[in-house]
């Protein structure tokens, strides 16, 4: 029998997952609370879905690479009961026999499933936000984890481009509150990708094109060209694609050039909707700063049908921190047609890493305990309990040191925990009703009576 008391090796987490100690959670909550505040301001309502989904819901919604990265869960009990010996060695055949469920890959497909299942109870247009973890069987690396949190906001039941405009406004407002100034919002349109595929002479292969050019930042143009070749694109096709995605100029200038090239194919709709979106931004008083029309932006997920977005914070080595787009056919795969949708997501983990690198977190987190009552003996401890209750009744976060310890140890506890103030309680304070309050940030001290102490801590 293993004795855990004698084990010397600490238990390890699965690769790509992390623990979040309090000092990290305070910062993560700062990001989440900021995003949640903006989501609410724009009329989004909260929603949660289970971590588990049936694989029939998840499979086929993310493209071939997304399906490969799904975490599949073995059926409970004897999961091999339906498997014959001849099934072994064929993963395609054996997977549905041993696994019916998987961990959600994103929050959008579960949301579409929710909409399809509850369409008669939902009032359209329906705006929801969702902040929960998702899982992907990816190779862990900096800024890429197997378990990570997404903050999604989606609107379903309308094709109005004002939804796309509000996505841009929401991103800008969140970044403003988080003090992130240098960033780029890349935009494109999946109909433009379709138009490029037609222009290149490969009509109907826009999905293959999207999957390939979506990797251009990682593998470069030559890598994209090699992948397109493997997917049946000729050298002439590839040169035509390169001539379009290499178009340069300001946002409106690129759109004009692209409109001329794609005038007679599917790309025309994408160019027109992009132009309309820019017009609505102008009506809303928004400028085009931080916006970049990236013709190579594809967003490899197969369910996108319209405008697509991706956000990169400049000056850091981490990839996109936000992305999304329009998906007008997603609920159709669940038997519910004509429910257009558009949404986007913030990646909490990447935002956290970027803000750490840029040193953007506040030095004092509002969730920290405001004051610690320190005491010298049992009478002062007992007196402090009553004072603590009065402070907390005023909605001030406060603690009393739980043990009878030296004053130095109590103050060290407050300092390590990031508590701003210590309130000394001794016989003199009990007799006079005035308490010495020390600011642990600047070392200053002052004496305050009970009423003034509470008012001071409120401020």
DSSP string of 128-159, one letter each residue: EEEEEEEE--PPPBTTB-SEEEEEEEEEES--
Question: 3-state class of 327 per DSSP?
Answer: coil
Both 311 and 380 in a single domain?
Answer: no
1 domain residue, yes or no: no
Contact in structure between 299 and 325 (CB atoms under 8 Å):
yes
DSSP letter, residue 15: T
Q: Which of 358, 388, 420 marks a domain boundary?
A: 358
Both 188 and 323 in a single domain?
Answer: yes
Q: Which of 312, 334, 358 marks a domain boundary?
A: 358
4 domain residue, yes or no: no
Both 396 and 299 in a single domain?
Answer: no
At 454, which CATH number?
A: 3.40.50.800
Placement of tokens 């724009």 in the chain: 42
Both 332 and 445 in a single domain?
Answer: no
Query: What is the residue-level pLDDT of the chain in tens, covering all 459 positions?
Result: 455 555 568 899 999 999 999 889 999 999 999 999 999 999 999 999 999 999 999 988 887 778 889 999 988 887 777 777 766 766 666 777 777 899 999 998 999 999 999 999 999 999 999 999 999 998 888 768 899 999 999 999 999 999 999 999 999 999 999 999 999 999 999 999 999 999 999 898 888 888 888 888 889 999 989 999 999 999 999 999 999 988 998 898 999 999 899 988 989 999 999 999 999 999 999 998 899 999 989 886 677 899 999 999 999 988 899 999 998 887 888 888 889 999 999 999 999 999 999 999 987 776 789 999 999 999 999 999 999 999 999 999 999 999 999 999 999 999 988 899 999 999 999 999 999 999 998 999 999 999 999 999 988
Give Cβ neighbours of residue 222 (< 8 Å, ≥ 6 apart): none
List residues bridging with 297 in a β-sheet: none
Both 354 and 375 in a single domain?
Answer: no
Both 395 and 270 in a single domain?
Answer: no
Both 179 and 296 in a single domain?
Answer: yes
Q: What is the pLDDT of residue 31?
A: 96
Per-position DSSP letters for 194-217, written without gaps between them? HHHHHHHT-TT-HHHHHHHHTTHH
Q: What is the pLDDT of residue 90?
A: 64
117 domain residue, yes or no: yes
Q: What is the pLDDT of residue 6?
A: 53
13 domain residue, yes or no: no
Q: Which of 297, 328, 358 marks a domain boundary?
A: 358
Number of separate domains in the chain: 2
Both 112 and 50 in a single domain?
Answer: yes
Q: What is the pLDDT of residue 140?
A: 86
Both 240 and 344 in a single domain?
Answer: yes
Q: CA 152 to CA 140: how far, in whole Å?
A: 22
Q: CA 208 to CA 197: how far, in whole Å?
A: 9
Contact in structure between 192 and 257 (CB atoms under 8 Å):
no
12 domain residue, yes or no: no
CA 343 to chain centre: 12
363 domain residue, yes or no: no
113 domain residue, yes or no: yes
Closest residue by Cα to residue 401 from 393, 411, 391: 411
Contact in structure between 156 and 339 (CB atoms under 8 Å):
yes
Q: CA 346 to CA 185: how far, in whole Å?
A: 12
Q: What is the pLDDT of residue 208?
A: 87
Both 268 and 210 in a single domain?
Answer: yes
Structure tokens at 24: 């990290």
Both 287 and 419 in a single domain?
Answer: no
Task: Kindly report the pTM of this predicted structure.
Answer: 0.84
15 domain residue, yes or no: no
Instruction: State which residues form the domain around 299.
Output: 22-358
Both 263 and 164 in a single domain?
Answer: yes
Q: What is the pLDDT of residue 38?
A: 97
At 49, which CATH number?
A: 3.30.930.10
Give Cβ neighbours of residue 259 (< 8 Å, ≥ 6 apart): 268, 271, 272, 275
Q: Cis omega before residue 417 (within 30°)?
A: no
Q: What is the pLDDT of residue 343?
A: 94
């Amino acid at each position: 029998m293993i004795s855990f008391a004698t084990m010397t090796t600490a238990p390890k987490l699965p690769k790509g997952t992390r623990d979040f100690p309090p000092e990290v959670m305070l910062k993560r909550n700062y990001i989440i609370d900021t995003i949640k505040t903006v989501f609410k301001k724009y009329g989004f309502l909260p929603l949660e879905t289970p971590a588990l989904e049936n694989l029939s819901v998840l499979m086929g919604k993310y493209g071939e690479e997304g399906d490969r990265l799904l975490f599949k869960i073995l059926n409970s009990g004897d999961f091999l009961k339906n498997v014959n010996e001849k099934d072994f060695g064929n993963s395609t055949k054996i997977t549905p026999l041993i696994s019916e469920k998987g961990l959600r890959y994103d929050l959008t497909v579960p949301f579409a499933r929710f909409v399809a299942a509850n369409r008669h109870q939902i009032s359209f247009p329906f705006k929801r936000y969702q902040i929960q973890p998702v899982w992907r069987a990816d190779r862990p690396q900096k800024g890429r984890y197997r378990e990570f949190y997404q903050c999604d906001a989606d609107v379903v039941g309308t094709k109005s481009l004002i939804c796309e405009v509000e996505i841009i406004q929401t991103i800008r407002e969140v970044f403003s509150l988080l003090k992130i100034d240098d960033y780029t919002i890349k935009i494109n349109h999946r109909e433009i990708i379709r138009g490029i595929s037609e222009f290149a002479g490969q009509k109907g292969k826009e999905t293959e094109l999207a999957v390939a050019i979506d990797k251009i930042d990682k593998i470069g143009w030559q890598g994209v060209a090699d992948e397109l070749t493997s997917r049946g694109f000729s050298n002439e096709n590839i040169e035509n694609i390169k001539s379009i995605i290499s178009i340069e100029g300001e946002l409106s200038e690129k759109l004009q050039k692209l409109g001329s090239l794609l005038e007679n194919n599917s790309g025309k709709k994408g160019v027109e909707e992009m132009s309309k979106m820019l017009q609505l931004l102008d009506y809303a008083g928004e400028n085009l700063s931080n916006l970049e029309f990236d013709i190579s932006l594809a967003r490899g997920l197969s369910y996108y049908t319209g405008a697509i977005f991706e956000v990169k914070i400049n000056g850091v080595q981490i990839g996109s921190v936000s992305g999304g787009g329009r998906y007008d056919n997603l609920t159709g795969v669940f038997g519910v047609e004509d429910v257009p949708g558009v949404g986007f997501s913030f990646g909490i983990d990447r935002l956290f890493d970027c803000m750490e690198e840029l040193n953007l977190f506040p030095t004092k987190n509002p969730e920290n305990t405001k004051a610690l009552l320190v005491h010298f003996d049992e009478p002062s401890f007992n007196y402090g309990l009553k004072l603590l209750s009065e402070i907390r009744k005023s909605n001030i976060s406060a603690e009393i040191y739980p043990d009878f310890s030296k004053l130095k140890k109590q103050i060290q506890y407050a300092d390590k925990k990031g508590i701003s103030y210590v309130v000394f309680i001794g016989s003199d304070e009990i007799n006079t009703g005035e308490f010495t309050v020390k600011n642990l940030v600047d070392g200053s001290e002052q004496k305050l009576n009970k009423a003034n102490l509470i008012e001071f801590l409120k401020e």
